[in-house]
Amino acid sequence: MTLAGFAVAPGEVIRVPSSGYTIGTELLAPPGGVSIEENALGEGYEVLVLYASTERVTLKYTREDNVVIGYTLHIENICVEPNLLSLYQYWNNRGRGNLPALRAGQGVGRARSAEIQVAIRDCGSFMDPRSRKDWWQGR
């Protein structure tokens, strides 16, 4: 299995899963003032936003702009947070020299219905997202 559906409450905030790793502490924000709401954890950033649309987001747990190295998380059937989507579009339209970075626990959007879909990659290969032992210990 490569894509799993998870029951959620419609409108529930979908948050960045914690990995315990950091990709840095510098906020990547454009000079135009689009910002992302910060959480209060005070920890470093854990993911880059490799892709965002109104209904899906792809998060990467390393700083490379690809899915070849490290873990990548694909989340479908969400309403991506509008400021996050704007920030992603800003950097994507300017050549992807920077990408938005998020912290563990930070909201990426809200569930569009009673189910979201999740796929996980490691070094490009899809993994089984059903493994609670490996992926979803806090839920």
pLDDT digits (tens, 9 = 90+) for 4-31: 888 999 999 999 988 887 877 655 544 4
Please answer whether residues 103 and 39 qualify as being in contact, where contact means their C-beta atoms are separated by less than 8 angstroms.
Answer: yes
Residue 20: what pLDDT?
Answer: 80
DSSP string covering 50-93:
EEE-SSEEEEESSSSSSSSSSEEEEEESEEE-HHHHHHHHHHHH
pLDDT digits (tens, 9 = 90+) for 78-95: 999 999 999 999 889 988
Residue 114 clears pLDDT 80, i.e. is over it: yes
Domains of the chain in sequence order: 4-135 (2.70.70)
pLDDT digits (tens, 9 = 90+) for 40-93: 444 678 888 999 999 999 999 888 888 888 889 999 999 999 999 999 998 899
User: What predicted TM-score, i.e. pTM, was given to this entire model?
Assistant: 0.81
